[in-house]
């Protein structure tokens, strides 16, 4: 199978990732857990180390050289993120520790500003817990209602039902751009247009989309977009939230503390301008600098070429794994990105994961922080193989061989 008309030099790319050279249980590492956390190229590791060695200081307000250098690198990273997502302004580019913090920020700041008892937040049936639990907390506090956009047996959202659900006091729509449990690519631009026709803002969880799709928040039209740096080869504890200034300017800060203020007296606090009013305390300086380096590396690879390669890997994995007897694929949407979830008749997913690990193959097993998805498909957990541009067809074939070996162990 040809991977692309202009294929990536996979051997050269893999040489940029030190961890891919290691062995596990005496076998070459086959890392297929990229949806949980992608591996970091050497340039990201070195950029973070350089900050720690040569530039480490707190950002903003410092007058000494190290603080100036750290601030410059940190704010340059913000510009890299802004450009990467085509965010209109730096004011709308908020650094967070990742998607989960960004979702909580919107739930608490937007929710407490605009939502009252009886108001509705409309979420898709395939949301990650990070876009469910914060709204449940707000429900307990404010008495809001959560309604769910259903999906079919392929893992495709029902847009006719969605349109009907938009009627009533819906104050926000929350939807994953790409499902972490199913790989479904949701039509968020169309869903945003439908919501905006009724004056309803849209929050998009982009954690699984940003590593695999070219994301342009202005083209999507959404009001909020969140992602995590470690999903695309950056450090853990890095990420960002895009929010339209027209909303952010009305929202009360999520957390209070240093750097998010202009002045503080016991009688009154004056909050800082955007984006800083949503960035209380000492930030994750090194991780965000590393995130910017990861974005630069991904751009150097070429996001379109990387996506084409990943799609070929997913197609081949779907073909090989789906052909195994007793395997049920979970999530068969026509538009998918880089995730293959499945169950194997007669074998618990955790046993599959453990046996694959003995062969050096790393996959994720469990509910993937998407328990409502598991309930919808009638399974307690799935095995999830997720692919990045540094994976190979040989690794896909190793996964299939490993699964056949699991079946042999269980006499299937």
Closest of 31, 125, 95 to residue 373, by C-alpha: 125
* DSSP codes of every residue in 4-29: -SS---HHHHHHT-GGGG-EETTEE-
Q: Give one word for 404, left, alpha or beta, with left for phi > 0 and alpha for psi -120 to 50.
A: alpha
369 is catalytic: yes
- For 287, the 3-state DSSP assignment is helix
Structure-token pair, residue 178: 């790409």
Q: Could you tell me if residue 338 is left (phi over 0), alpha (psi between -120 and 50 degrees) or otherwise beta?
A: left
Q: What is the per-residue burial (b if ≥16 Cβ within 10 Å, else e) of 18-30?
A: eebeeeeeeebbb
Take residue 275 and report the two structure tokens written for it: 């984006």
Residue 377 to residue 216: CA distance in whole angstroms: 32
Backbone phi, then psi, for 357, in 5-degree steps? -60, -35
| 37 CA to centre of own chain | 9
Closest CA to 204 of 214, 215, 212: 215
Ramachandran assignment for 383, one of left (phi > 0), alpha (psi -120 to 50 degrees), beta (any other): beta
The single residue of 165, 194, 369, 400 carrying the catalytic annotation is 369
Cβ atoms within 10 Å of 178's Cβ, excluding its own: 27
The tokens describing 369, both together, are 């922080």
Tokens 């809001």 found at = 144
- Token pair of 48 as six digits: 């973070």
Catalytic residues, which ones? 369
């Amino acid at each position: 199978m040809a991977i692309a008309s202009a294929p990536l030099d996979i051997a050269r790319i893999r040489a940029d990732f030190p961890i891919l050279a290691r062995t596990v249980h005496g076998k070459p590492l086959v890392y297929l857990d990229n949806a949980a956390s992608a591996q970091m190229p050497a340039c990201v590791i070195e950029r973070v180390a350089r900050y720690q060695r040569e530039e480490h200081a707190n950002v903003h307000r410092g007058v000494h050289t190290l603080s100036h250098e750290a601030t410059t690198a940190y704010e340059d990273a913000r510009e890299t993120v802004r450009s990467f997502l085509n965010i209109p302004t730096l004011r709308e580019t908020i650094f967070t520790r990742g998607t989960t913090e960004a979702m909580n920020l919107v739930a608490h700041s937007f929710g407490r500003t605009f939502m009252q008892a009886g108001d509705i937040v409309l979420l898709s049936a395939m949301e990650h817990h990070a876009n469910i639990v914060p709204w449940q907390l707000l429900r307990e506090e404010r008495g809001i209602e959560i309604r769910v956009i259903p999906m079919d047996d392929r893992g495709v959202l029902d847009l006719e039902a969605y349109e009907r659900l938009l009627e009533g006091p819906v104050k926000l729509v929350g939807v994953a751009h790409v499902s972490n449990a199913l790989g479904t690519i949701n039509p968020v631009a169309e869903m945003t247009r439908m919501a905006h026709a009724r004056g309803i803002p849209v929050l998009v969880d982009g954690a699984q989309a940003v590593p695999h799709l070219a994301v342009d928040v202005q083209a999507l039209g959404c009001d909020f977009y969140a992602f995590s740096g470690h999903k695309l080869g950056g450090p853990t504890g890095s990420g960002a939230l895009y929010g339209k200034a027209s909303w952010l300017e009305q929202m009360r800060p999520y957390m209070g503390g240093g750097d998010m203020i202009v002045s503080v007296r016991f009688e009154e606090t004056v909050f800082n301008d955007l984006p800083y009013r949503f960035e209380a305390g000492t930030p994750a300086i090194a991780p965000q600098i590393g995130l910017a380096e990861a974005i630069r590396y991904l751009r150097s690879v070429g996001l379109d070429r990387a996506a084409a390669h990943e799609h070929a890997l997913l197609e081949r994995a779907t073909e090989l794994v789906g052909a195994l007897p007793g395997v049920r694929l979970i999530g068969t949407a026509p538009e998918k990105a880089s995730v293959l979830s499945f169950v194997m008749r007669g074998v618990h997913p955790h046993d599959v994961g453990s046996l694959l690990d003995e062969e050096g193959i790393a996959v994720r097993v469990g509910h993937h922080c998407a328990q409502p998805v598991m309930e919808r498909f009638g399974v307690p957990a799935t095995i999830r193989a997720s692919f990045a541009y540094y994976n190979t067809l040989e690794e896909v074939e190793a996964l299939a061989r490993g699964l056949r070996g699991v079946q042999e162990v269980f006499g299937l």
